[in-house]
Chain A
């Protein structure tokens, strides 16, 4: 990565947040910041100034004022310049560090994740503004045409402007509810990267890394036990990154992963965060999911896994978050602690809600296989294969079918 790309990665979100606050407009701020980075490419000539953040902020501010001057008619110009002048010097500087750039990223996060915006718009806008991902990159990550993603971003920004969504951190009374929306967006970004719903590659690591980076920014700005738990959860999963896919891009099950290659530093950090979260607050869904991941991390070989404890945590999770997916995971844990026969009725009970979910069929197939009911297992694997959207998952299921079918003819 070149020095300037490095600066772009680390500074884009913070600079854009400050510029939006200063200029009161997402598009003007974004264009000005893009121009400032373009200017940096030629003017820095490979040598990054001592304070790149201040340089970029000052340059973008000038570009924006120039642009507004050029664009505005006389009367409007006066008004706009009057608006710009004081806010750039007075109260703006209060929470700024030595770079002179105030940190307004919390305002930006809460605005992008406003519940009045559609969920997919919240995600797209957060990745675009805070992470600096290009529209093309976001479109690729979510497998939609670039034009569709561009349209989604334009609409979201138009709603912020048109409906009067404020650029601010919500008051304390609304903070828990609003923060939960922000955390849901971060987790959605992570999940999209971790278990890509569709497409060729199973893991889109860039999205996982962005989600973790966002959570770190949030935690630094707004300490919260649920946030600790969310970051712990993501780190404990991310630690398995290197082992989830083999050299041919094929999926490797948790039981077959080379645990010596799990990232110990991420596991240790995740565990410490989880413990600090549990010290200060009752466990929420993120903490319980992180606790499950931590139990897996504790087992140095798969057969050492404490499945009884995992099943118990899933039961608590179901109490907080009673979804059929949680119930399915609970059933899997039961199958490991008490055997497939105990789990099969639990899985069967979920047929109504999960009949179109490939992992329901794959789970059922696995239990039937373990019970020696091969024909039924093959039929269920076939159904899972038909429903799976991700190529790596489909190939995995195809191998299972092949293996079972051939062993049956032996």
Chain B
């Protein structure tokens, strides 16, 4: 099965970080990526939510607003798409994402249509 692992964390942690802290954080993600290279199908970090735009189409009219869909302290900051045998394996991988140490990882199974 495939699962999307959504990384939620306090954005201020990254913006307030020192250069050294930032490098430590990046290398933790590098190590994670190497450890699960065989499982990770895709993954990206996202720019902070102040760059987000939310779009809705209602009655044929497009409404565009500044900001993320949900204003929360812990924001979506990145994701991995992984292959896992079952939820337990996906949970085990999610628990190793560096973001799990400070924020939270939401594990969502990918819908399949047959």
8 Å CB interface, B50-100 against A: 84-88, 90-91
6 closest A-B pairs by beta carbon, nearest first, are A166-B86, A164-B86, A164-B1, A164-B87, A165-B87, A163-B109
CB contacts (< 8 Å) of B3 on chain A: these are 164
Chain B interface extent, by class: 10 to 19
Chain B contact residues, CB within 8 Å of chain A: 1, 3, 84-88, 90-91, 107, 109
Check A116 for interface membership: any CB of B closer than 8 A: yes
**By the criterion CB–CB under 8 Å, are B1 and A116 in contact?**
no
**How many contacts between A and B, using CB within 8 angstroms?**
24
Known contacts A164-B85, A165-B87; 5 additional CB pairs below 8 A are A114-B87, A162-B109, A163-B87, A164-B87, A164-B109
CA distance A173 to B53 in the complex (A): 44
Chain A residue at minimum C-beta to C-beta distance from B108: A163
Interface residues of A in 148-182 (CB under 8 A from B): 162-166, 170, 174
Instruction: For the complex formed, measure the closest distance between the CB of A312 and the CB atoms of chain B, giving whole angstroms.
Output: 38
Q: How far is the CB of B108 from chain A (nearest CB, A)?
A: 8
Residue from the set A164, A165, A170 with the largest chain B CB neighbour count within 10 Å:
A164
In the docked arrangement, what's the CA distance between A402 and B85, Å? 64
13 contacts between A and B (CB under 8 A): A116-B91, A163-B107, A163-B109, A164-B3, A164-B86, A164-B87, A165-B86, A165-B87, A166-B85, A166-B87, A166-B88, A170-B88, A174-B88
From A162, A164, A170, A174, contact of B90 by CB (8 A): A164
- B7 nearest CB across to chain A (Å): 18
Q: Nearest Cβ in chain B — how far from A25, in angstroms?
A: 15
Chain A residues with CB below 8 A from B84, complex form: 164
Q: What chain B residues lie within 8 Å of A165 (beta carbons)?
A: 86-88
Cβ–Cβ < 8 Å partners of B1 in chain A:
164
